[in-house]
Amino acid sequence: MSIVQNINQIRQKLLPGVKLVAVSKTKPESMIMEAYNAGQRIFGENRPQELKQKYENLPKDIEWHFIGHLQTNKIKYIAPFVSLIHGVDSFRLLQAINKEGEKNNRIIPCLLQFHIASEETKFGFVWEEVVEMLSSTEYKELKHISLAGVMGMATYTDNQEQVSREFQSLKEYFDRLKQQYFEGEQFKEISMGMSGDFKIAMLHGSTMVRIGSDIFGHRTYL
Ligand SMILES: *Cc1c(COP(=O)(O)O)cnc(C)c1O
């Protein structure tokens, strides 16, 4: 199967309104261009320097999303152009992103990553931490970030009921946050679902799926 065929197959499975983030981490620019030529415009990467390089070399109408764990000292590589940072998992990181947004005279859209999986290794906030952050005066002073929604990763397991439960918990966090802290249109994204579980994620209200291997084939390293 070719990249174009893979993308078309996934598009047919997307529920209305769900955006496809093509996760191109570790993949060469030639493969990104194949997807681009099939009409794909949103790409996700998880290494800041690699993302910067690809941004510089590839068409400027690509929307670049950062999807992985971001270290504060690397925000500078992507701050000038990144369209969305999916994995904000601490207030410290959000403050650091705000600082880079200020330097670049822009507002950087971010998603709050929640810890929904049973694995301990997955990053993310728990509910109380987010409430504490959003209620603080320090948060209210951040003028160069905007929170556009939430993101989460389910446990890597064949147990579909567990995956369902975890995605449902993210949907509930989103609904509560939207109701209690965010009015209006801007807080609207639920980024959940990868190659192995995006169909379940969409059933629980995902607005953005992040798909790598189903488009570009298996990666030899993370
Ligand atoms: C790599 C990655 C994906 C894509 O995973 P696939 O299983 O290849 O679809 C999605 N989200 C995040 C955060 C990732 O790091």
CA distance 45 to 68: 7
Between 220 and 217, the higher pLDDT residue: 217
Residues whose CB is less than 8 angstroms from the CB of residue 208 and which lie 6 or more positions away in sequence, other chains included: 18, 19, 20, 21, 189, 190, 191, 192, 193
Take atom 5 of ligand 1 and give the residue whose Cα is closest: 212
pTM of the predicted model as reported, rounded to 2 decimal places: 0.96
Q: Ligand 1 pocket test: which of 24, 67, 114 has the largest number of ligand atoms within 8 Å of its C-beta?
A: 67
Query: How many other C-beta atoms can be found within 10 angstroms of the C-beta atom of residue 172?
Result: 13
Confidence of residue 221 (pLDDT cuts 50, 70, 90): low
Which atom of ligand 1 is nearest the CA belonging to 222?
Answer: 1
- Regarding the beta carbon of 210 and ligand 1, being less than 6 Å apart is answered yes
Q: What three-state secondary structure class fits 170?
A: helix
Q: Is the dihedral of CA 109, 33, 50, 105 positive or negative?
A: negative
102 C-alpha to ligand 1 centroid (Å): 29
- Regarding the beta carbon of 46 and ligand 1, being less than 6 Å apart is answered yes
- CA atoms in the 13 A half-sphere facing the CB of 168: 6
The least confident of 90-94, 119-123, 165-169, 180-184 is 119-123
Take atom 10 of ligand 1 and give the residue whose Cα is closest: 210
Q: Quick: pLDDT tens for 156-180.
A: 999 999 999 999 999 999 999 999 9
CA distance 213 to 195: 6
CA distance 41 to 145: 23
Q: What is the pLDDT of residue 1?
A: 80
Average pLDDT, the chain: 96
Beta carbons of 41 and 60 less than 8 angstroms apart: no
Q: Quick: pLDDT tens for 6-49.
A: 999 999 999 999 999 999 999 999 999 999 999 999 999 999 99
